[in-house]
Structure formats: C-alpha cells, structure tokens
Structure 1
Amino acid sequence: MTKHQKRLAVPKSWPVERKEEKYTTKAGAGPHGEEGVPLLIVLRDVLGYVDSKKEARYALEQDSVLVNGKAVSDERIPIGMFDILAFVEREEYYRVFPDEGGRLSLTAIAEDAAQSKLGKIAGKQQVAGGDTQLTLHDGQTLLVDDDAGYSTNDSIVVSNEGDEVVAHFTYEEGALVTAVRGAHAGQIGTIDEIQVTPGSSDNNVLIDAENGDDFETIEEYVVVIDENFTGDSGTESEDASGGSREQDGGDGE
C-alpha cells in the first residue's frame, strides 16, 4: 500500500498547500480517522523544524517530541483536533486547534497547560462490571464514575498521565463553545439555543459569537471549551505555511 497521498485529495483540515506539489505523506493508523494529519507535515510544513522524513525520524529517535504526554517514534502518526504537542528540548508546547476555515493550526500554550487534553464525549456506555466507559472524539476510551453526570456532547479535560478527568464542561445553553467544522469553523461563542430536531436529523445550535457575527450550525460541529482554553493574549498560532500571527486569546519526503 502506498505511503503517499495526493495533495488535491487531502481533507480540508490538513494544513498543506494543495497545488505546490502532487503528493504528500499519508497518515498512518491511529486516532482522528482520515482527518488526522501526519506528524511529519506538522514538523516540516507547519513548524519548519525538519526538512525531510530522514530528519524527522532522527528527531523522533531522541524521545523529545511528545504527543499528549507520550514520546512518539512514527513520523506518520495522525495528529488532530485538541492534541497536545510538546518539544521538550525547545521548551515549546502547542495545542492543535481548528482555525477559521477548518484548517488545523497550532496555538502556543504554557507548559502546565500541556499536561492535559480536551476531549468531546462522542459516546457513553455501560461495560462489564458496571463501569461507565466514555469514548472521546479521537477514539480514546476511559472508565469513569457513573455518578459524575457525564453526557454525550459534554467536554472533559483528561490528564496525560493516568487518564484522570481534571475538568468537566457541560453541553448546555450558555456554555462557551467553538465550531470545529463547517462554514464557521474556528469561531467561538456561547450557546443561545439548542434546537432538538425530531428523528435522525442533526440538532441545530444557535450561537452568540464573540465577534458579534452570530451563527447557526449543527450539534456535531460544536465543542464545549473553557474560557481560558485558547490561551493568553499574545500567544502565536502557526499557520499552514509555517509562519505565525498574533492571536487574541489564545510536503515531499
């Protein structure tokens, strides 16, 4: 099976230029499904830390690149929404966050914020022994106490060490959210109304946007976040070309 991916066919969330070259690297098996961006693209095309796959492999062999608190060795591991990247030797830490237009970008964060990761609850079920299992948006599963009141579409913050839930944000009217897909991806606001649609159709969510441009989207595209989630004012967000811009709040081989 080929390890290459045509640039014109990559998901819209991938931070690559589609017409510069014909091919780019294909993501390996792992979380985030087809939306996951190969780590090589992040290291080479977004951050500019390496120039080739060979350099990326050498860097990863030093165990100084962490994804959600764990050293990684595969340059094709998929990186996706809300993942935490830590570059130990550089003392740099980033959260993967959807930018306007739906492209994934990197928001610089402090070291203490890099010790845990936000996840949207995509599923909840009882398992053998009476425990409750939560499935997050990236496929991660964890067992929790049933009396904690977790529900589908809530968000939780999970520590990188021990998978302990350190915060819980309820999906409800008045909650602070970000849109992660669709025409309003990257916008932040508070839920004004959740319109429950009968049958199998998606529920609609009306959102009072921070920028005053209120919008409507579907429930699947909304993630509850903390008010400090996007970082402090003056942090930088890496764009798709490897440059950076000030943020308020926040490929060949």
Structure 2
Amino acid sequence: MSTKREVAPPFWKIPRKIKVFTITPSPGPHPKEMCYALGVLIRDVLKLTSNMRETKAVFKDGKILVDGVVRKDVKFPVGLMDVIEIPAINKIYRLVPQKNNPLYPLEISENEKRLKICYVKTKQTIKGNKIQLGLHDGRTLIYDSNIKVGDSLLIEVPSQKVLNHLKLDKGSLALVIKGKWCGYMGKIVDLIKGSFSSPPMVSLDIMGKIVTLRKDSIMVIGKEKPLITLN
C-alpha cells in the first residue's frame, strides 16, 4: 500500500507534485503521523539514493541498521530517538525533535550510536509478580518496580541494557516532543495531576518562560543536561 504524497506528514519534506504516491510506513510502535518509512528517510530526506530501485538494492544488501539491527524493509517505521546507521558511508543519525520538525535526523558520533533514551508508556505486573515496562518505541523490559509511567530510561541498543533511570520529577530536564514548543528543553517546575475531564500536565521553565503542557508531550532527558546529543 502506498501513501499519497499530498497527505504525507509535512515534516517528510518530500516533493508533493512530482509523483502521486510514496512509501507507506508499516504498522509499528510509532504513530503513523509521527514516523518515517525508512525508505523515505534514506531516499527523500537524507537523499542517499536517487530512486526506488537504488533504495531497495541498499536495503537488500543489509546496509541500513536501526538501533543496531539490520533492517531490509523500506516500509519499516522509524521514529522518536531511533538511531539509523549507514556503515558504508560512516554516517549515524538520531531522530530528534527540533523546531518545526518532530523527527529531525541529527548526525551523531560513533560513541553514541548505542545510546537511546526511551520514555515509559505502560507498566504492568505479569506472571511471577514481575514488572513489565512498555517503552515508547514498542520494546518491553522486565525491570524495577520503582520506575513510573512517564519516567525515561537511558538504554543500550540493541542489548536493551538499562544504563540510567530518569525520573519525571521537579528539577528534571525535559524535552518537548510535539506541539508548538516541539524541540525546546526546560526544567520541570510543577506536575499537575489529571482528572476525568483533563489530562495530566507538566509545567516547564523554558528560557525563563513557564509553559504548561500535556504530560505526554514531553520526555525526561537528564538532570542538568541531556544524557545524549540532541542538537
């Protein structure tokens, strides 16, 4: 199945009138409106190939890795904080929110390619009284019961080893991942509980301005500074 270019997410930055259709991301952990089809990222955004035939050949040869795993499907969905590596040209990118672009491919160094911050979307008790965490990129972990929904984890990919626990708490540094303030960072100054009629909110100090946003529009990235490169 293909997507009409005219209805593709605006941050894809693809020509809208040259052709009618483009690659549709496969169903996956990232919302359709908040991901790239990997083939679109390689061909149209990074411009590493010039047509679909070249793109498919690169994928077939196993030259594209996402979070340290070879991906051969041009429709594979990539989104927030995913790390894309192209060893043949020594390029590594992390998809990060920046102003006017929720998924900007930021080039990063070799020593960061195994680092990824994920926020916790779900938490449940499973068989054996173990705690299972569901992260924003679809992966699941059996981990510490002290971690709460909304906290973030610095993990190593592809091993999924947890390197650090970042609490959603006052004083933590957060990154806005969508909306008007997308790409901005700020210290958390208040956490506002939700109700039946309103969602949980978070107040951030962004460059001296107090901004109140939905809790699901931010993620914790560190304490005094981000634990990974984001700009």
User: Given the two structures, how large is their TM-score scaled by the length of structure 2?
Assistant: 0.90
- Verify the 8 A CA contact 2:36 2:78 in the aligned structure 1: yes
Please identify, of 100-109 and 162-171, the stretch whose mean Cα deviation from structure 2 is larger: 100-109
What is the letter of the counterpart of residue 25 of structure 1?
A: I
Give the aligned length: 227
1:178 and 2:183 matched = no
Q: Which of residues 1, 6, 19 is equivalent to 1:8?
A: 6
Q: CA RMSD in A?
A: 1.8
Q: Which of residues 189, 196, 213 is equivalent to 1:199?
A: 196
Structure 1 segments unaligned to the other structure (5+ residues): 232-248
Cα drift, residue 187 of structure 1: 0.9
- Verify the 8 A CA contact 2:115 2:228 in the aligned structure 1: no
Cα drift, residue 204 of structure 1: 1.8
How do 1:88-103 residues align onto structure 2 when only pairs under 5 Å count? 88-103=87-102
Instruction: Evaluate the alpha carbon distance shift between residue 129 and residue 200 of structure 1 in structure 2; reply closer, same or farther with a 3 A threshold.
Output: farther
Task: Name 1:154's counterpart in structure 2.
Answer: 151
Q: Which of residues 22, 26, 29 is equivalent to 2:27?
A: 29
- Verify the 8 A CA contact 1:94 1:109 in the aligned structure 2: yes
Cα drift, residue 142 of structure 1: 1.4
Identity %: 25
1:109 and 2:105 matched = no
Report SS of the residue matched to 1:60: helix
Cα drift, residue 163 of structure 1: 1.4
Task: Name 1:127's counterpart in structure 2.
Answer: 126
Report SS of the residue matched to 2:168: coil
CA distance in 2, matches of 1:129, 1:18: 52
Cα drift, residue 62 of structure 1: 2.5
Structure 2 segments unaligned to the other structure (5+ residues): none
Q: Which of residues 207, 210, 217 is equivalent to 1:221?
A: 217
CA distance in 2, matches of 1:29, 1:36: 10
Cα drift, residue 214 of structure 1: 3.7
Report SS of the residue matched to 1:156: strand
CA distance in 1, matches of 2:157, 2:58: 22
CA distance in 2, matches of 1:200, 1:84: 37
| Larger RCO (alpha carbons 8 Å, 6+ apart) | 1
Greater per-residue strand proportion = 2
Please identify, of 189-198 and 114-123, the stretch whose mean Cα deviation from structure 2 is larger: 189-198
For residues 53-110 of structure 1, give each alpha carbon's deviation from its aligned partner in whole angstroms, at most 9, with x where no partner exists: 2111111223231100001100110010010111112221111001213431111111
User: Given the two structures, how large is their TM-score scaled by the length of structure 1?
Assistant: 0.83
Cα drift, residue 15 of structure 1: 2.0
